[in-house]
Amino acid sequence: MGEGAVTRAQRDVTAGEGFMKKLSDFADDINKCSKCGKCQEVCPVYKLTGNDCAVSRGKFVILQGVLKGELKLSKTIEKYLDLCLKCGKCKDFCPSDIDVCEIFNTAKHEYVKNRPYGKITRFLQSSMVFNKILNTFQKINGFFNHQPLKQIHNDKKIKLLYFKGCANTINPKSEIAMKKVLSHFDVELIEQDFECCGVPFLSSGNLERYEEVKKHNIELLKGDYNYIITDCASCESALKDYYKNTKDLNEPNIINICHFLAIQDKKFIFKKHLKVTFHKPCHLKSDAFLKPLLSRCENIEYIEAKDYDECCGFAGEFAIRNPKLSMKMTKQKAKNLADTGADVILTACPSCIIGIHQGFLGKKHSKIMNIIEFLARADKIIQNK
């Protein structure tokens, strides 16, 4: 174990209190990698490049060198750290259950924290700047069309706490659609003054800002709610990750809005027959809701796309730092979706919507939208008999 390292148990106790981990804290996890190559089987980037530095085992070899003092974190190592979609597939298939993304985010943080562009990034992502930009969008959107869900507060209603997310603050299409759909349900929708879930901060190595928003949001997630809902897969994943290393905090019931709708007894009536397909975002914890929900959509035919659960290739900063790879992946994703002949392409993540649009760049394509937006276009929403 590297000097200054702490045990996993110690990290578990302190993670909920905003404990800032160091790369040396993960020495045991990095050394635990057996180099079995399972990550190669599932990594979308490795499948395209054949570059062993694209997968976790290759990066772990590099980071072992850093921990031993044989290497220093450098621009080249940062490039390899950024050669990652953060899709989490390697962790899901890792026999040693190593939290790969957390290690890479920590290594990235240690490299960029004293770099000039790292300081600029932290300034732009500070609450003073970042929140001011979001508040400006919120005021503009509120002026034009932002209406709250009309509801009567009583103890019998299902209480839903809504985590809106930054995408809805900038462009509230999904939020408006969700509130339209929920107006047909006996629910009480509660909103709090949440900050960004923190995913952009993790990607850029700004762990201080991530811990700040995590602490703020955890406080607001406390309360007597039946469900905490979101319409963004990345937000759902981030909120659940707040609790992954904490034994002193009870994880609330955080689900995608479509998961909630799938367990309600309603039917969505579409007058026109439509064929739809679905892209599963990497951050969507489960798409078990999809087929049950679409089965209650009258006149809707679901066609599963090839590799529907493979990463779209956009993945936020990945597209900026690896534009050629990102374009290649988004084009393949677009082709697989187009091959279904679907009238509408559905997903559950605003970044994936951008990625799919990128894949179709310059080509005619079907409508692409969040699944909650699609459900809001139903001609009727009625009780399922």
pTM: 0.89
- At 138-162, the pLDDT tens digits run 777 665 555 555 444 555 689 999 9
**Whole-number pLDDT of residue 142:** 63
Assess contact for 290 and 278: CB atoms under 8 A: yes
Q: At residue 251, does pLDDT exceed 90? A: no
Domains of the chain by start residue, with CATH: 8-112 (1.10.1060.10), 147-260 (3.40.50), 265-383 (3.40.50.11810)
User: What are the beta bridge partners of residue 276?
Assistant: 302, 344
**Whole-number pLDDT of residue 37:** 87
Q: At residue 12, does pLDDT exceed 60? A: no
How many C-alpha atoms does 80 have within 13 Å on its Cβ side?
18
- At 36-93, the pLDDT tens digits run 988 999 999 999 999 999 999 999 999 999 999 999 999 999 999 999 999 988 988 8
User: What are the beta bridge partners of residue 229?
Assistant: 162, 255
Tell me what the mean pLDDT of segment 250-270 comes to: 94
Assess contact for 359 and 313: CB atoms under 8 A: yes
**Whole-number pLDDT of residue 377:** 97
- At 156-180, the pLDDT tens digits run 689 999 999 999 989 999 999 999 9
pLDDT band for position 118 (50/70/90)?
A: confident
**Whole-number pLDDT of residue 9:** 39
- At 125-138, the pLDDT tens digits run 888 888 888 778 77
Average pLDDT of every residue of the chain: 89
For 278, phi then psi, to 5°, come to -140, 135
How many C-alpha atoms does 196 have within 13 Å on its Cβ side?
22
Assess contact for 42 and 89: CB atoms under 8 A: yes
